Amino acid sequence: MAINCGGTVNICRVRVTAVDANGNVAGTTNNSYVTDLVTEVTLSPDVTTGDTITQKNGCGCKVIGYKVKDIFNFFTFSFTDAALEPALQALMLNGANAANQTIVNGSDTVGLAFTGELACDEDEPAVAFEFWTQHVVGSAQDGTYPWIHWVFPKTVWQLGDNTLAEGVGTPVLNGFSRANTNWGDGPYGDGPPDGQDISEGGYWKTATEPPAAACATGNVTPSS
- Identify the helix (H) or strand (E) that includes residue 108: strand 108-112
Handedness of CA 24, 29, 31, 34 (dihedral sign): positive
Looking at the whole model, is its pTM more than 0.75? yes
Using left for φ > 0, alpha for ψ between -120 and 50, and beta otherwise, residue 106 falls in left
pLDDT tens-digit map of 108-153: 999 999 987 777 877 899 999 999 999 999 999 999 999 999 999 9
Torsion of CA 43, 129, 197, 194, to 10 degrees: -110
The pLDDT of 66-86, averaged and rounded, is 96
Sketch the domain layout of the chain as residue ranges.
9-46+74-206
pLDDT at residue 224 is higher than 80:
no
